[in-house]
Structure 1
Amino acid sequence: MEQKTKGFIPVMLTPFKNNGDIDFDVLTQLTEMYLQAGASGLFANCLSSEMFELKDEERLQVIKHVIKVVNGAVPVVATGTFGGTIYDQASFVKKVHDTGTAAVIAITSLLADQNENNDVFNDRVFELINQTENIPLGFYECPVPYKRLLSAQQLADFVATGRVIYHKDTCLDIDQVRQKLEAGKNNNSFGLYDAYMVHAVESLKAGSAGLSCIQGNFFPEMVVWLCNNYADVSLQQEVATVQQFLIDNMEVMHNVYPVVAKYYLSKRGLKISTITRRNVGDFSQATKGQIEHLYNDYTRLQHSVGIKMV
């Protein structure tokens, strides 16, 4: 099951100007940074992109812009379901696909309400598949508006249609990840990308296609390094050090996110503001101090492990 080549798929941020408009110039620089770091694909218009705070036209503008900057270098996936009837969601999936995406991602929690059972959910997934012609699809177990996890059997049934090629997993349970990998093993086009960096190395060794995590919005080259070197026998001490660094700093990177990620990137030299459209809490001096401490710790780790910062 283990795949030889693993990939990092960043969950992209959306930069904003001080007036709240999308900053497309910085979006260009951000996209180029991901590519220079070695990303094997990009996930545009996701939760980290503040997709729920964008209008439909803005969502499409962001996706089109990213695809233009990428210029075919790597595939781009993007969310295409935002509630409403399956007909409405299928219609927007088609619009997202028309931008040039490699796959359009369905949010599991927007295909059925929290109080609706899996039979209802499954029926809607198959209905969405039927209404979107031959468009490649994927799933994202997004925690907003609530987290709806797929079982291994559900994933197996969906992948068996030949239409589902991507899954961003947020179950936080390595045993469930292994079961899902087993469920999708017979489709060479399908890839599971894990979001939970506490078990990043275990997930890669179990056969995941790669990682798709918010940590890539702080140090993308380190996530790429982990994907490239997790199985290198001569680097197991360094791999363990990187894995522990991710575990130790999990909380600070999730606090007031994505503001903290934008601030971190500004320290790296990207001219990105900390403006967000989502109200994620107070970016206090204490939190800012934690991010500066994280920056210093990563600088030391980067030099000790031999990771080249882009």
Structure 2
Amino acid sequence: MKNTFPGGEWPTMLTPFTKEGAVDYKALEKLVEWYLQNGVSGLFAVCQSSEMFQLSLEERVGVAEFVRKKAAGRVPVIASGHISDAIEDQAAELTEMSKTGVDAVILITNRLAKEKESDEVWLSNLKELLRRIPEDVPLGFYECPYPYKRVMSKETVSWCAKAGRFFFLKDTCCDIDRIREKLEMIKGTNLKLYNANTSTLLESLRLGAAGYSGVMANFQPKLYAWLCENYRSETADKLSDELSICSLIERQLYPVNAKYNLLLEGLPVETVCRVKNSADLTPTFQKEVQMLHRITERMNKEHR
């Protein structure tokens, strides 16, 4: 298998729901188009931002297949969705996801070992999982923060890079020294690193990271696409500073606030979520998102 994944911005996609709480495929279609119009390089269709731990397997597979079909021929689509504890159940979930035709199936690092278990246990479970899923399926990793964050070590990154089967690493360590180590481990291999953290993003791009895959692509996609393309520009440092401060909105009521931002963008998206109560988006929180939206509009004009 050869890595054809482009560098750039890969949004961690939201899942729109109807007022009744079902997946809203009409809104999802509009959302796919919004990402593409804002210059993304690929789409991460089923992840924590998608509320995957609250989606049934049928819904996870349905969302991934829908996004893959809508984006076909324009950008690649990846998806995760193995949320079970037992390896045999995870293998079944991943095999079903692979049937959707997505460009890669992404493994959740914390699913491969318990929080206090060693890298040796993690690697043993990974090898067992690989034996149980189709050999021709391109794979990647996501250091998902829920239910606990399992950041890959130099040793596990090195093994996976040498295996040749892994192409995408969504890094959430938020530590530029650890990112630098990982980039050294994957140099010259199929594996590419996509940083989820804004404050370390610019430096990581200059060190060789392939791009960005994070929450703020649901608020400021055009700006992150610009930064990934122009990270050596003289104005990149200023933009990076501004984006880092803007990214503090992540600490508010995500993903409810991101869906509210999409409403401000004119998308027919309800603020309904399964992981948070949309009623908790207070008038003050709404004002903060409105302010960010106005700031983003001004910044977009500066970086056309």
| Structure 2 residue aligned with 1:19 | 20
Amino acid at match of 1:247: S
| Structure 1 residue aligned with 2:52 | 51
Show structure 1 runs of 5+ residues with no match: none
Structure 1 Cα separation of the partners of residues 7 and 59 of structure 2: 31
Aligned-pair Cα RMSD in Å: 1.4
Contact 2:169 2:194 in 1 (8 A): yes
Contact 1:257 1:280 in 2 (8 A): no
| Structure 2 residue aligned with 1:28 | 29
Amino acid at match of 1:261: A
Which of 282, 291, 294 matches 1:293? Answer: 291
Structure 2 Cα separation of the partners of residues 81 and 177 of structure 1: 25
Structure 1 Cα separation of the partners of residues 19 and 217 of structure 2: 24
Amino acid at match of 2:146: V
Contact 2:144 2:172 in 1 (8 A): yes
Deviation by residue 1:250-298 (Cα, 9 ceiling, x = unmatched): 2223310011111111111111111101126721111111111111112
| Structure 2 residue aligned with 1:163 | 165
Show structure 2 runs of 5+ residues with no match: 1-5
Deviation by residue 1:34-76 (Cα, 9 ceiling, x = unmatched): 1121211110110000001100001111011101111231111
State the percentage of identical aligned residues.
40
SS at match of 1:241: helix
Amino acid at match of 2:52: M
**Worse-matched range after superposition: 85-94 or 191-200:** 85-94
Residue pairs, 1:244-263, within 5 angstroms: 244-263=241-260
| Structure 2 residue aligned with 1:143 | 145
| Structure 1 residue aligned with 2:89 | 88
Structure 1 Cα separation of the partners of residues 239 and 207 of structure 2: 18
| Structure 1 residue aligned with 2:3 | none
Give runs of ≥4 in structure 1 deviating > 6 Å. Answer: none
Structure 1 residue 195 displacement after superposition: 0.1
The TM-score with structure 2 as length reference comes to: 0.94
**Worse-matched range after superposition: 274-283 or 213-222:** 274-283
Contact 2:256 2:276 in 1 (8 A): no
Q: Does 1:302 align with 2:290?
A: no
| Structure 1 residue aligned with 2:215 | 214
Deviation by residue 1:196-238 (Cα, 9 ceiling, x = unmatched): 0011110110101110011110121111111111113xxx13x
Aligned length: 297
The TM-score with structure 1 as length reference comes to: 0.92
Structure-2 change in CA distance of 1:71 and 1:220 (3 Å) = same
